[in-house]
Structures are given as structure tokens and as C-alpha cells.
Amino acid sequence: MAAFDCKFGRPGGGLKRYPGSPRLVRPYLRPGDRFVACELHPDEALALKREFAGDRAVEVRQADGYKVLKALLPPPERRGLVLIDPPFEAADEFERLLRALRQGVRRFATGCYALWYPIKDEAAADFAHELAAFKPLTLELSLDGIEPGRLSACALAVINPPWRFEEAMREALPWIAQQLGPGVRAAISAPPASAPAPASAG
């Protein structure tokens, strides 16, 4: 992130710019890997296309990622990560997210799914309860001293995480919380080791 900030920001002081999830994903692609990024908003999609112009490993689609998911799964490689990072602009975002996950797992049961979501009201608790059927590894960052109803925490739920991912996150997440400043807490919850994610749900 420091390199990204140095390239696009102004020198001096702390970090002022950080890369979005597509830029974070790209350095970890191996030769032969493919990355399909979906962005619904035209201006953001255009900016994303410009960002990855000429990069044959990256395909940017101006589309609703929820609707595109069915066409992309299962991938021909039979291995893949589905990252769903919604804007949470719609009132039914949690419902859409669960519906997409259920459809995805039915089509690609062995895939790794990573779902980001905000935590600020009972809707998030209800979502986490529904999500429990998929036996996710859940990574959470929370901020102390935030009034009720405002965004005070967020989580990343990972279904079918890669080998040793949990071990790595138990070391990395507390460090991330520390770097973010005082009052930031990290928490990790894992399902029983013997409980696989369901092949289908709902």
C-alpha cells in the first residue's frame, strides 16, 4: 500500500491513498491465472478498465457482479476465488449476498468464497446467523467508541479457505488492527475443523 500511495499520492506524511480490492488482487496472480472484475457503475468501470489496460490477465466488465456470477461458475480451471465486495447501497444487499453465495456454492462447491460486509445493526447479525450454515472463517475488525447505528466494524467471511489461511490470519489480523490505531480490535471465529461447507443451502 505504501508503494501505491507513493505512486499516486503526494510525498510526505502518512498514507493518504490505498488501492481497492482489484489492485490488491493483481500482484498475487500466477502465470496463467485469470481475474474477472465486475463493476456496475459506468464511471468506476471505466476507471478500472483504464487501470488495467493492456493487462491480459485482467478482464473488467461493466456489469452487476451478482448477475454475472452464474455465467462464470464453475471456472474451467475448477479452482478459483470469488470475492464479493458489495457497496451496500441497496436496502436488500444482505439478501442479495446470501442468494449469490447459495447459487455460487451450488455451481462451484469447492470454490473459495470471500464476502466483505459492514457491521452496524441487527441486519448484520441476522446475516451472520444465516451465513453460519456455510461454516465460514470470519475475520472482524471493530472500532471502540462508535455510537449505535453507525459503522463500527466490518468482517470478511471466507468459505473453503486455503490451507493455512487461518494460521496466517491469526498472525496478520492483530497486526493490521495495531497499525490502524488505538481502539481497533481484531477477532477471528472459525467453524469446527470437521464441518465442511454445504454443497447447497436454501
Topology of domain 80-202 in CATH is Rossmann fold (3.40.50)
Say how far apart CA 132 and CA 139 lie, in whole Å.
13
Confidence check: pLDDT of 117 > 90: yes
Domain positions in the chain: 1-63, 80-202
Q: With bands split at pLDDT 50, 70 and 90, how would you rate the model's confidence at 202?
A: very low
Minimum mean pLDDT range among 31-40, 98-107, 192-201? 192-201
Say how far apart CA 161 and CA 113 lie, in whole Å.
8
* Alpha-carbon separation of residue 38 from 46, 57, 96, 102, 159 (angstroms): 11, 14, 16, 19, 20
Q: What is the pLDDT of residue 192?
A: 76
Q: What is the pLDDT of residue 14?
A: 60
Nearest one of 91, 88, 84 to 134, comparing CA atoms: 84
pTM comes to 0.85
Helix (H), strand (E) at residue 185: strand 184-189
Q: For this structure, is 33 an active site residue? A: no
Burial level of 51, CB count in 10 A (0-12/13-18/19+)?
A: middle
pLDDT digits over 41-82, tens only?
A: 999 999 999 999 999 999 999 999 999 999 999 999 999 999
* CA R_g for the chain: 18
Contacts of 121 (CB under 8 A, 6+ apart): 149
* Alpha-carbon separation of residue 195 from 52, 89, 98, 133, 140 (angstroms): 39, 33, 20, 10, 21
Average pLDDT, integer, range 6-28: 70
Minimum mean pLDDT range among 6-10, 31-35, 131-135, 186-190? 6-10
Neighbours of 26 (CB within 10 A): 17
- What pairs with residue 143 in β-bridges? 184
| Grid cell at residue 52 | 488495467
Fill in the DSSP letter of residue 182: T
Q: What is the pLDDT of residue 10?
A: 58
Chain mean pLDDT for the chain = 88
Fill in the DSSP letter of residue 186: E
Q: With bands split at pLDDT 50, 70 and 90, how would you rate the model's confidence at 90?
A: confident
| Grid cell at residue 11 | 510525498
pLDDT digits over 163-196, tens only?
A: 999 999 999 999 999 988 899 999 999 987 644 5
Say how far apart CA 34 and CA 75 lie, in whole Å.
10
Nearest one of 110, 93, 83, 75 to 22, comparing CA atoms: 83
Dihedral angle sign, alpha carbons of residues 103, 109, 111, 114:
positive
Of 5, 33, 43, 85, the active-site residue reads 85
Neighbours of 122 (CB within 10 A): 7
Q: What is the pLDDT of residue 21?
A: 84
